[in-house]
Amino acid sequence: MLKASTTERSPDVRRPMMVSRGWVQAAALVILFGFAVLGFLAFRTYETGPPIADRVVSQDGKALFRGDDVIKGQKLFLKNGLMEYGSVLGHGAYLGPDFTADYLHRAALSVTRQYGGAASSTAQAKVIEDFKTNRYDEATKTLTYTAAQAVAFEELVTYYGNYFGPTSGEKGMRPDAITDPTQIRQLTSFFAWTAWSGSTLRPDKNYSYTNSWPPEPLVDNKPTANVMVWSVLSLIALLAGIGALFAAFGRWGERFGWKGRQADTISFRPPGDVVLTPAQRACAYYFLVVGLLFFIQVMVGAASEHYRADISSFFGFDLASWLPYNLVRTWHVQLSIFWTATSFLAAGIFLAPMITGREPRRQHWLAYILLGALALVVFGSMIGEALDIHGVLPDVLGAFGMQGWEYLDLGRFWQVLLTVGLFIWVIILFRGLRGRLRVESRGNMPWMFFYTALAIPAFYAVGLLTSSDDSFTIADFWRFMVVHLWVEDFLEIFTTVLVAYIFVMLGVVRERVALTVIFLDIILYSAGGVIGTMHHLYFSGSAAETMALGAFFSAMEVIPLTFLTVEAWSFLQLGARQESKSATPFPHRWAVMFLVSVGFWNFLGAGIFGFLVNLPIVSYYEIGTALTANHAHAAMMGVYGMLAMGLALFCLRYLIPTERWSDKLAKISFWSANIGLAWMSFATLLPLGILQLYASVNDGYFAARQLEFITNPTNSVFEWMRLPGDLVFIIGGVLPFLWLCWLGVRYRVGGSRDQLDEILFTEITEREPVEVGDR
């Protein structure tokens, strides 16, 4: 166990692995298989994505726009933060329309009118013919629009000129957001290209480049056979998988290591007795940053919510000219990643010396450098985003401004700096763990801690492949390598490792059980999670097999999330089961309760709400609606937010002197954050999502994404229903937490040294046996 390392070993003798090699082999196999398939799909995406024609001309030969314009339009779309206002191909924000569906619908209406209107007997067939026929000539890289489509294009240039110009302010964007006619034309070209990909049949196929998304009756876009078949198959796979897993566990579960061992009788070291290292003390500042960013995140979140409930006035104040919706939404989304990640980074730095038992010299210098870099990235990127969305950032400074891909909004410069920072963090961990890594088998917990930490920057770095010079289809593929693989695979695993380690340190479980749980998690999460990335790319222009494999494997993801989550859910409850007779009080009551809530939200937010939007047939109508927001909030805040809070409380318990610590504030924060989140989900996001899905199937996706629908009276009632929950969350959840973070800095425990007694408890041997008589 942990104590083993306190007895010095000679460096060459590693402690043998605590579990069978089979676990490592199985985990490696699953991950390799996953990435091999992903590699193949990446290749196919380059091969089969919708082409961008060099020239688009109308049938009479008039030039309409060039391929260049499409890419420039895409860049304008991103730079102006429009992906944080509305979406294209279903990806982006949900206040504005989906511009793919918007263009397609309006263009189809225009063409219908030109062919004699809906009443005409032939118009409809001709419209469908116009939009479905693939007139792209591979040889000349020329795309031909019918005369009617060309007219529609010109009409829409005018329409979007008005949309992003004079009327943009009342829609929640910066007033007069884009006025340059060339830019409007480029933007429209970009929308036109996505709409073309959405409606035009692939060569030799009877569905479009996007598996016939968006649903649009005017051009006869409806779910394809693939969409149906793979929905059904993935559902069957899920049910069969769950059944098989439960059966297997029923049969062999007890061999997996948790043999119902009795909780050891232990005595917790009172936090005041645990001497901290300099780097651990540095973490106090990290948590203050965490608290502050969390607070800012919910405040800008509240502002963006206000736009949905009441778009035109902010209590009589013209908010859009200062903080347009897309700016507050950008900040909201970016901060959600920043503050949770900062907490994980700090927790890693805090735990490393506890694992190793000592700290290399000047480790805290690195920690402070990293914190400085993080603060620079956070505030620098936020300022850059604001300048770009307000249109005042000169083009030469583009790398500091808005990159604009949702979740990767920060400018290139900041993105690179953040990647570097994350690698510095890994170096910090490596330095801190080195003493321990040397004496441990490479399959043991300290190494798992290190590997899973390394995966985080490695996959953040993959996001650098997302380039706005590539077609949307390709860029989006790489974007989801970060967005999805982070949260649904590597962070889940890192979470398990962190929690398992904390549990070992608190004497909740033995190391062997913890390691078994870690390997089981790696296998189960990665089996579905790696290829499951493709569930974001059903309709963004990748080949149909992307959808097939994505649906199938992401359904598999739900197996761990129902099974494992019930398992992890119960695992996470172990910490709260303080029923043994400890001689000293358990110091982490609320930290472990936060872990209990992580288990719950992982089940509900990720597992159930995630699956709710996961089947291709559901996603087809649902993508980019409130049901996604429901899942995103319940999963992101529920799992990683609660985890970040719990980790912070765990560390702060040692950073704040006992007499200054307040269990009461921690309790209020715990209950308020959970009640607030549950309320947000069930009072607003879920019912709105159901209504919007209904509208999407019934009246069409176009209608369901229009502002008129989103702000209709029934929806507004649900939007206002949020208010009490949001208040509870902010006032009861965030503020007390922020205060505790502040206490960590204000009263940070003094005195430090670089040798630690790593264990946070001591096992006590019970008094002399008292013989128990038989009955």
Partner 1 sequence: MALHPEALIVGGYAVILLVVAAALDWLAQHSQQRSERFRTAGFSYLPQHDAWTCSEDAMLWPMEYDELHHLVRYRAKASVCNSCLVKPSCTSSANGREVTRAVAPWPHSEAGRFHRGISMVLVGCAAVLQLVAAARHLEPSTLVLGLPMLFTIWLGIRYSAHFRAAPANFPEPTPATGLRVTQTSRTRWGSDAWEGK
Binding residues vs Fe ion (CB under 5 A): 484, 488
Window 537-576: contact mask with partner 1 (x via CB under 8 A): -----------------------------xx-xxx-xx-x
Nearest to 216 by CA among 116, 86, 106, 92: 106
Minimal distance, residue 556 CB to ligand HEM, in Å: 8
Residues 393-422 that bind ligand HEM (CB under 6 A): 406
C-alpha 483: how far from chain center: 5
Q: Does 69 bind ligand HEM (CB under 6 A)?
A: no
The answer to whether 504 contacts partner 1 (rule: CB under 8 A) is no
Q: In sequence order, which residues have a C-beta less than 8 Å from that of residue 386 and are 6 or more positions away? A: 327
CB of residue 160 vs partner 1: minimum separation in angstroms?
Answer: 34
Cβ nearer to Fe ion, comparing 470 with 488: 488
Q: By C-alpha distance, which of 579, 605, 603, 578 is closest to 590?
A: 578
Interacting residue with ligand HEM among 328, 487, 530, 704 (CB under 6 A): 487
Q: Which of 77, 609, 679, 709 binds partner 1 (CB under 8 A)?
A: 679
> What value, to the nearest 5°, has the Cα angle with vertex 642 and ends 306 and 674?
60
d(CA 662, CA 649): 11
DSSP string, 524-545: HHHHHHHHHGGGG-TTTT--HH
Query: Residues 76, 127, 498, 596: which binds partner 1 (CB under 8 A)?
Result: 596
190, 196, 611, 661: residue in contact with ligand HEM (rule CB under 6 A): 611
Residue 761's binding partner, choosing from ligand HEM, partner 1, Fe ion, none, with beta-carbon cut-off 5 to 8 A by kind?
Answer: none
**Are the beta carbons of 36 and 30 closer than 8 angstroms?**
no
Which neighbouring-strand residues pair with 216? 221
Q: Let me know if 516 is exposed, middle or buried by CB neighbors in 10 A (0-12, 13-18, 19+).
A: buried
Residue 584 binds: one of ligand HEM, partner 1, Fe ion, none (C-beta under 5 to 8 A by kind): partner 1
Interaction with partner 1 in 699-718: which residues (CB under 8 A)?
Answer: 713-714, 717
CA distances from 132 to 71, 197, 219 (A): 23, 10, 7
Does the protein bind partner 1 through residue 519 (CB under 8 A)? no
The least CB distance from residue 84 to ligand HEM, in Å, is 10
What secondary structure, in 3-state letters, does 633-649 show? HHHHHHHHHHHHHHHHH
In the complex, least distance from residue 562 CB atom to ligand HEM, rounded to whole angstroms: 10
Tell me how far apart the alpha carbons of residues 453 and 497 are, in angstroms, rounded to a whole number. Answer: 9
The residue behind tokens 């949307």 is 472
Give the CA radius of gyration of the chain: 27
Q: CB under 5 to 8 A by kind: which of Fe ion, ligand HEM, partner 1, none does 235 bind?
A: none
Residue 672's DSSP bridge partners are none
What's the min distance (Å) between Cβ of 350 and ligand HEM?
A: 23
Q: Which residues pair with 402 in a beta bridge?
A: 410
Q: Is the peptide bond before 353 cis (omega within 30 degrees of 0)?
A: no
Scanning the structure block, which residue is given the tokens 């919910």? 298
Query: Measured between alpha carbons, how far is 245 from 523 in angstroms, rounded to an integer?
Result: 13
Of 440 and 488, the one with the shorter C-beta distance to Fe ion is 488
Pick from 683, 695, 749, 756: which binds partner 1 (CB under 8 A)? 683
Q: Which does 636 bind (CB under 5 to 8 A by kind): Fe ion, partner 1, ligand HEM, none?
A: ligand HEM
CB contact at 8 A, 722 and 638: no
Least distance in Å: CB of 377 to ligand HEM? 20
Residue 546 amino acid letter: T
Residue 535 binds ligand HEM, judged by CB under 6 A: yes
Q: Is residue 639 involved in binding ligand HEM (CB under 6 A)?
A: yes
C-alpha–C-alpha distance, residues 154 and 188, integer Å = 9
Q: Decide: 488 and 557 in contact? Cβ < 8 Å.
A: yes
Residue 498 touching ligand HEM (CB under 6 A)? no
Burial zone of 82 (CB within 10 Å; 0-12 exposed, 13-18 middle, 19+ buried): buried
Q: Which residue has the tokens 């204000």?
A: 746
Q: Mask of contacts with ligand HEM, 545-574, x by CB under 6 A?
A: ---------x--xx--x-------------
Question: Residue from 34, 96, 301, 610 that binds ligand HEM (CB under 6 A)?
Answer: 610
Local structure of residue 180 (DSSP, 8 states): -
614 binds ligand HEM (CB under 6 A): yes
- For ligand HEM, the binding residues (CB under 6 A) are 90-91, 406, 487-488, 535-536, 554, 557-558, 561, 606-607, 610-611, 613-614, 619, 623-624, 628, 631-632, 635-636, 639-640
- For partner 1, the binding residues (CB under 8 A) are 253-254, 258-265, 509, 513, 566-567, 569-571, 573-574, 576-579, 581-587, 589, 593, 596-597, 599-600, 603-604, 658-659, 661, 663, 671, 674-675, 678-679, 682-683, 687, 690-691, 713-714, 717, 721, 724, 763, 765-766, 769-772, 774-775
